[in-house]
Amino acid sequence: MVLLNRKIWTLTIILILSFSAVAGTQFIDLTTANPVSSSVYKGEISPPSKPAITISFPKNNTSFNTNSLSIILNVSIRKTTKQNYQEWLSRVYYSSDWLQEDTYVYEYYNPDPNYIRPKITEFYYRLNLAEISEGVHKVTFHAVERGFYCASLLEYYGFSANDSSVVVFTIDTTPPSISVLSLENRRFNSSDVPLNFGVDEPFEKASYVLDGQHNVTITGNTTLTGLPDGDHNVTIYAIDEAGNTGVSETIYFNVDVPEPFPTILVIASLSTLAIVGIGLLVYFKKRKH
């Protein structure tokens, strides 16, 4: 009878353990329970996914005419649908070309083993940067995902994944320098005057103002046409890729178109000479006779 009872208890224990191994995490609330308290750590496994990092502002390779900049960041976990996996965001930090050390903007830690801090799977952040020096800069954002996989009530495995995203931008607060190349003579005998200029950096837009009138947009070198005689002045403007506006010095020049040659008088004079010549020829022929 005692032997029979031992067999029954042994069979019962085996059935309970087997059922627990099959049911697995159905008896564990992975969002609140610490698997370490009910399972044994068995090592690391490959992660089911990587964290997704999205930089919504600024766009890559954008220029700004200010030394301050806000970068908008979103990090999320691509959660698996399997119930025996638990994932959370562990760390978010960034590095830049002008800072020597990494800067953490989020980090999950659990100082009290008796209290499980809420874990997050999505993180939104606006990073405000100030006193950025002139030039091209690069900021790299890093995100680390942690988690565990419960094979059963008796064992669990850990995993870790990380990813990064880079944004490159230019700080340019210096206006472009403009030089006017075609008005050195400053006196023209034509009503069409070439307007050639140079800019020390790529520009998005250029324009000129002639004699204080309205602003005229141009894409590059051009010609001022139909200028009346007299004194004129012109100023050139250029806006660079960062939005800085450069202004040339105001150039003064003069247009003095010569009077056209009096062709009507010349024709009349030639006609008169022809008539006189014919008259003389007739006169001399008569005298011969």
Instruction: Name the nearest CA neighbour of 195 among 217, 219, 222.
Output: 222
Residue 33: the pLDDT is 44
What percentage of the chain has pLDDT greater than the value 70? Answer: 76
Q: Where do the domains of the chain lie?
A: 20-171, 178-255
Query: CATH number of the domain at 20-171, out of 3.40.50.300, 3.60.15.10, 2.60.40.10, 2.20.28.10?
Result: 2.60.40.10
Q: What residues contact 146, with CB distance under 8 A and at least 6 apart?
A: 87, 88, 89, 90, 108, 158, 159, 160
**198-240 confidence digits (pLDDT tens):** 999 999 999 999 999 999 999 999 999 999 999 999 999 999 9
Q: What residues contact 125, with CB distance under 8 A and at least 6 apart?
A: 72, 73, 74, 75, 92, 105, 106
How many residues belong to the chain? 289
Architecture of domain 178-255: Sandwich (2.60)
Residue 15: the pLDDT is 37
- Dihedral angle computed from the Cα positions of residues 275, 278, 279 and 284, in that order, rounded to the nearest 10 degrees: 160
pLDDT bin (cut points 50, 70, 90) of residue 256 is: very high
Stretch 38-48: mean pLDDT:
86
Compute the distance between CA of residue 58 and CA of residue 138 in angstroms, rounded to an integer.
Answer: 12
The domains spanning 20-171 and 178-255 adopt the same CATH topology: yes
